[in-house]
Amino acid sequence: MTELLNKAFVFDQESPMIFTRLYFWLYFLVVMLFFSLLYKRKALRNFYLFAVSYFFYYKTGGLFVFVLLFATISDYLIGHKIFNANKPITKKLWLSLSVFINLTVLCFFKYDYFFTDTVNKLFHTHFEVVTHAALWSNQLLGTHFDIGRMLPPVGISFFTFQTMSYAIDLYRGLIKPVKNPFDYAFYVSFFPQLVAGPIVRASEFVPQLYEDTQVTHEEFGTAIYLIIKGLFKKIFIGDYIAVNLIDRVFANPASYTGFENLIGLYGYSLQVYCDFSGYTDIAIGLALLMGFKLPQNFNSPYKAKNVGEFWKRWHMSLSSWLKDYLYIPMGGNRKGSLFTFISLSVILIFIVFIAGKLWLVWLFAAIIGIVAVLARLFPGLRVTITTNINLMMTMLLGGLWHGANWTFVIWGGLNGLGLVIYKFWRKISPYENSNHWLATLWKIFLTFNFITFTRIWFRGESMQGTLDLLSQVSNNFGWEHVPAMVTAYWKVFIIMILGYVLHWLPYDTKDKLLNWFIETPVYAKILLSALVVFIIYQSVSAGLQPFIYFQF
């Protein structure tokens, strides 16, 4: 009995609560049972969902729940200071404090080991990182965390951006403060999207806290459909090809031929989409069952005809967040600003630390000086230079948001470079405005392959691993081994083809399937869902895989 209670209520680092585990669905059924009794009383409903969300986060991230609590309390209190300030400068100072606290907490937990290691290399010191949260967890709960290696709290990048959006939206006058701290804690911690998005803005979600719970017949059908679709994408497609091919190849690219590396790379493009969009499908569906609407996060991104369109379709909540809270404040398409230079300084500091070379400071200073002189001498170029710098910095910061190492810097930089090049290319492209199917197919083909190419650095486990992959594809393609490889991995190939075909289905076909499911009777929904779930879990060939974006 004690063991059963521990399993139900005590955090287990080996078995965190994730959407693909049976334990989560039993938990969700209990949550919905009590929710059905409370949903008409908004204040009690919000408090209840806050409580179950915090329990969910504890079961997912352990004692890091106190980090979430700290972020919640600090921004709730500062939010009221921002709203009640009478002078613009006072509002700005309180906002600056909020941003500083949020980014400090994010950097401490996400980049502390990186900074400590780099300082030791640069200055020949011997500082050590001691993870006190891990130490306390080991002492209190009997866990076995490595206290010398701090893993960031699950989903810290997501809930940090949400707390920041609350303070910024208050400053901009888009919302009013929430009525009580539990309502705000519920907004920050709502468990369907807490650990991997979509990133929910305060201006979009806070008004829903004070609306009646209503779930229409269409919304109910859509929610069930999204949950089943998300599980199918995550487990049947993403996990299967990851366990049976992708993880093996990326663990040691030099041991596989160029063809195997290339298939692994195209497989990863499918896996990361199925994994991440599968999570957000489930999250949106779960929230919808409780009457809350989360923003769309993916819109068939591999149908994009250029890099700019891709980033409007992929991780849409992050892309729009970076645009509205970073790119536009830096000046956007118009000019530079003080925020531009602050952001540029942050990026350069990270790059210097990543490289571990102090001489880069002088190199960057020289480059900035040359760019400043050119902008001064040629006023016509000033807007072009500053806007493209803003664009590059936005993508570089997006890369650093994922992690502090060269692979993410290069990945962000390549995507930024792709956006800049496309801005110039579209002005001279002979087929930019063509709707001919061949032109559309060609643009989709180029965009998809470019995005897949950049994923070498996103997925690569080290810089050496990415170089090995490129070397194998270039110098050891292994054409003679292709038939044997296709024969050995025929199931993986079939799943990959199925995944890409489903992704590239016309919108009309997907809408018809959704509408058909919505209109089926409840008993048919239950039977279909049970059948699909049974098929999905038959494909599990190893332990259930964590969602990729949990690490961010």
pLDDT on residue 137: 61
| Domain spans of the chain, in order of start | 2-213, 215-302+461-552, 307-425
The residues, ordered by sequence, that sit 6+ positions from 132 with a Cβ below 8 Å of its Cβ are 147
- Cα distances (Å, whole numbers) of residue 432 to 125, 323, 391, 425, 427: 55, 24, 21, 9, 8
The single-letter code of the amino acid at 151 is L
Pull the structure tokens for residue 361. Answer: 């400071």
pLDDT on residue 331: 54
Query: Which residues are known to be catalytic?
Result: 402
CA dihedral 305, 309, 310, 316 (to 10 degrees): -150
- 113 by Cβ neighbours in 10 Å (0-12 / 13-18 / 19+) ranks as middle
Chain-centroid distance of CA 222 in Å reads 23
- 333 by Cβ neighbours in 10 Å (0-12 / 13-18 / 19+) ranks as middle
DSSP helix/strand/coil, 148: coil
Handedness of CA 329, 335, 340, 344 (dihedral sign): positive
pLDDT on residue 432: 78
pTM of the model: 0.85
pLDDT on residue 365: 66
The single-letter code of the amino acid at 137 is S
Instruction: List, in sequence order, the alpha helices (H) in 232-257.
Output: 240-241, 247-251
Give me the residues of the chain with pLDDT under 50, please. none
- Asked if residues 314 and 503 have their Cβ atoms less than 8 Å apart, the reply is no
pLDDT on residue 291: 92
Element (H, E) at 165: helix 156-172
Q: Smallest Cα–Cα separation from 231: which of 29, 503, 21?
A: 21
The dihedrals phi and psi of 201, each to the nearest 5 degrees, come to -85, 150
The C-alpha atoms of residue 419 and residue 150 are separated, in whole angstroms, by 35
pLDDT on residue 371: 66
The residues, ordered by sequence, that sit 6+ positions from 155 with a Cβ below 8 Å of its Cβ are 57, 60, 61, 194, 195, 196, 550, 552
pLDDT on residue 298: 92
